[in-house]
Amino acid sequence: MEYEIRPAGLQDCVHIMRMIRELAEYEKLADKVQITEEVLKKDGFGDNPFYKCFVVELCSGQKSKEGFTVVGYALYCIVYSTWEGPFVHLEDLYVMPEFRGTGMGKKLISKVAEVCVERKFSRLQLAVLDWNRPAMDFYLKKGAVNLTTSEGWHMMRFQGEALKGLAFSETGH
């Protein structure tokens, strides 16, 4: 199977959005997707992009069962650690089910790791759902460290009413 991994372009947003929905369904969180293709375009390809992305594209006229040539993606952003400087947060790593086990996922994450090494970033970090054992095993096999077990770090989130409450708790609004 021939394919290339390349930086995503504006024209890929339709496929990235499709795969974001597929990933959310796999994670049993389809109802949580609020982003649109238009927002994805603006946020990734506007004047001040918030994220970067690589896509996997099939070559030589090959297509998925549904007729797609873009069959995987890795979406990431640069974050800053006050202890170590810039690092990459990998938000999504996804390969369509029919192409899993072909090495595409390994090559995608390797491409993101290359960005870290080339730019001298301190680390590549990501989150995995506790039930997604195949993904967790894949990352651990590649040398990742589970920070919840090794250092006791837990990821926390404020959103919705909790975020509003936090934002306005000191201002009296």
Q: Supply the residues annotated as catalytic.
A: 139
Distance CA 81, CA 78 (A): 10
Alpha-helix residue ranges (DSSP H) falling in 13-132: 13-26, 37-45, 104-118
How many residues are recorded in the chain?
A: 173
What is each CA distance from 84 to 81, 87, 122, in whole angstroms? 5, 8, 6
Phi and psi, residue 4, nearest 5°: -125, 150
Q: Three-state DSSP class for 85? A: strand
